[in-house]
Structure 1
Amino acid sequence: MTYFVAPDSIVRRIWGTADTVLFIFAGAAAEFALNKAVDWLYFTGRLPADPLGRLFSTVDYARRIVFADRAGAERAIDAMAAIHAAVEAKRGQAIPDWAYRDVLFLLIAYSIRAFEVLERPLTDPEREEIVAVFCRVGQRMGIPGLPTSYAEWRAARAQHLAEHLAPSPYTTDLYRQYRRHLGPLRYPLLRAVQGLVVPPAVRALLHLGTGAGLRPALALYQHTKQLAISQWAKSALLPAAYRARIRALDGAPAAYAEPLPTPTGARCPVGPHRSPTR
């Protein structure tokens, strides 16, 4: 069987562990809130209405790509492309190419950062593999200007961080929604994790701490993560309604039999959906 992501790829290890997936999306939640294209996330109203549900929806698509066979992964990518195309058609304008690249770049960045915070430093070949996998996703979606190496990605990522982030009323509202859905106890923990994984530019714009207070707890967790108490602590990070979904993030998922949703009025493409005129 041919896979989009090799069974022994570091990407499967990263995305097959609940701890790293939660840290990836803590960082992504921070950076999404600052992106100058964040208004696109508000256009349908689904993100502010249910940020945790949207997180798990995005995780589901990402894990389909990482763990499915090549055909299944490509169907997942094409379904994502169809959803974006439908939103663009409804709004009557195109999502900027740089905004698509921003999302890919932050997934690369937080896949690397989350694993290194929780596990160990990655090797150069592992970093190259992470970049290659996500850029293949971007190529399937028809996104132009993607890097071909880790070094190219680092340079492009630095430019994006410098040019595409700014606080806005959307930033304030998103964090209001994070607090409302997480509650007064879990919300400070989210901000602490974000401070630990985001780059300095994001940390400064959001007035986050460094997350240094979490390091002793993380060191303890790394030595006890197979014990019941640590499994309980991980599940406690999100409301009870999501605990089964958190546990399901550990290990490769069962084969996906159910069809992917295609938005009303959108045809799921068989290849890249981006218009060549963009």
Structure 2
Amino acid sequence: MIKNSIVRQIWGNADTILFIFGGAAAEFSLNKAVDWLYFTGKLPADPLERLFSTVVYAQQIIFSDEESARKAIDKINTIHQAVEANRGMKIPDWAYRDVLFMLIHYSITAFELLERKLTIAEKEEIFEVFYRVGMQMNLKDLPNNYQDWLVVREQHLQENLVRSTFTFDLYKQYRKHLGLMRYIILLEAQKLVVPKHVKVLLDFNGFSLLKPFLWLYKIARKLSFDKLLKSTLLPSNYKKQIFALNM
């Protein structure tokens, strides 16, 4: 991947990554295959730690040379195969595609929220990068281009999401690990990046209390006050890990 790739810009910025995984946290809670994450116990036990382990793998793939990226993907495949062996069944192909589609969607929406509108060429580049990841993971039935992905993505949202007991439990864990104030910020951030169907399933209203403060945050970032602001808002146990996401 070239050094000035839009994907590297997105995944080399801690702010963007936090919005990506804020949105994914919402969609994960609704996915019909979320029971697989409960099988390992890692997600409900410590959703924040799960976030950072996932980010590490994503950044290894995006910021490494081709050979190192392939080794990281092979390691992910090995981990999934071990989970499947322990449970005695296969993770559905559509569940793998759902995760890949989340990375594409939230990479785009998070960057556009915090930075600027992406061009069609940049969106196609984002799709192409994750498409190659999906092919390396041997995923089946992937759309061949960004425009086809838009159609398939909507189909997946309609078919593979449901509000369940896992949804309620995950949000209970989010609140437990974040504390009330940060949990409220998470909810308001999710409203800004999740698709319409996710908003409906989670009973999100159409307005985010966070939106009026985004312009203020952007000004603070230009004045280099954003680190102080994040130090106040972020969980103390994870501050170093979050700031280390900047590449």
TM-score band (shorter)? over 0.9
Matched, 1:158 2:158: no
Q: For residue 40 of structure 1, what is the aligned residue in structure 2?
A: 36
**Matches of 2:232 and 2:153 in 1, distance apart?**
33
The answer on whether the counterparts of 1:194 and 1:211 sit within 8 Å (CA) in structure 2 is no
- Deviations, residues 197-219 of structure 1 (Å, cap 9, x unaligned): 10111011112234532222111
Using the size of structure 1 for normalisation, the TM-score is 0.87
- Deviations, residues 25-54 of structure 1 (Å, cap 9, x unaligned): 000000000000000010011110010000
Which of 221, 230, 236 is matched with 2:217 structurally? Answer: 221
**Cα gap change, 1:182 to 1:229, in 2 (>3 Å):** same
**Matches of 1:188 and 1:30 in 2, distance apart?**
13
Q: 1:228 deviation in Å?
A: 4.4
Matched, 1:173 2:169: yes
**Cα gap change, 1:238 to 1:145, in 2 (>3 Å):** same
Q: 1:229 deviation in Å?
A: 3.0
Matched, 1:106 2:102: yes
**Matches of 2:32 and 2:147 in 1, distance apart?**
25
**Matches of 2:7 and 2:50 in 1, distance apart?**
22
**Matches of 1:210 and 1:140 in 2, distance apart?**
38
Cα RMSD between the aligned structures?
1.1
Q: Which runs of 5+ in 2 are unaligned?
A: none
Q: For residue 262 of structure 1, what is the aligned residue in structure 2?
A: none
Match of 2:179, SS? helix
Matched, 1:140 2:147: no
**Matches of 1:104 and 1:237 in 2, distance apart?**
29
- Deviations, residues 112-143 of structure 1 (Å, cap 9, x unaligned): 00000111000011000100101111100100
Q: For residue 198 of structure 1, what is the aligned residue in structure 2?
A: 194
**Matches of 1:238 and 1:170 in 2, distance apart?**
25
Q: For residue 21 of structure 1, what is the aligned residue in structure 2?
A: 17
202-211 or 85-94, larger mean C-alpha shift? 202-211
Q: For residue 236 of structure 2, what is the aligned residue in structure 1?
A: 240
Q: For residue 123 of structure 2, what is the aligned residue in structure 1?
A: 127
The answer on whether the counterparts of 2:143 and 2:149 sit within 8 Å (CA) in structure 1 is yes
Q: Which amino acid aligns with 1:241?
A: N
**Matches of 1:115 and 1:211 in 2, distance apart?**
19
In the comparison of the two structures, how many residue pairs are matched?
A: 247
Q: Which amino acid aligns with 2:236?
A: A
The answer on whether the counterparts of 1:131 and 1:150 sit within 8 Å (CA) in structure 2 is yes
Percent of residue pairs identical: 57
- Deviations, residues 48-71 of structure 1 (Å, cap 9, x unaligned): 001000000000000000101111
**Matches of 1:247 and 1:153 in 2, distance apart?**
32
Q: Which runs of 5+ in 1 are unaligned?
A: 252-278
- Deviations, residues 231-250 of structure 1 (Å, cap 9, x unaligned): 12223343101001111111
Q: 1:220 deviation in Å?
A: 1.5
Q: 1:24 deviation in Å?
A: 0.1
**Matches of 2:206 and 2:37 in 1, distance apart?**
27
Q: Which amino acid aligns with 1:235?
A: S
Q: For residue 88 of structure 2, what is the aligned residue in structure 1?
A: 92
- Deviations, residues 172-216 of structure 1 (Å, cap 9, x unaligned): 110000000000111000000001110111011112234532222
The answer on whether the counterparts of 2:189 and 2:208 sit within 8 Å (CA) in structure 1 is no
220-229 or 90-99, larger mean C-alpha shift? 220-229
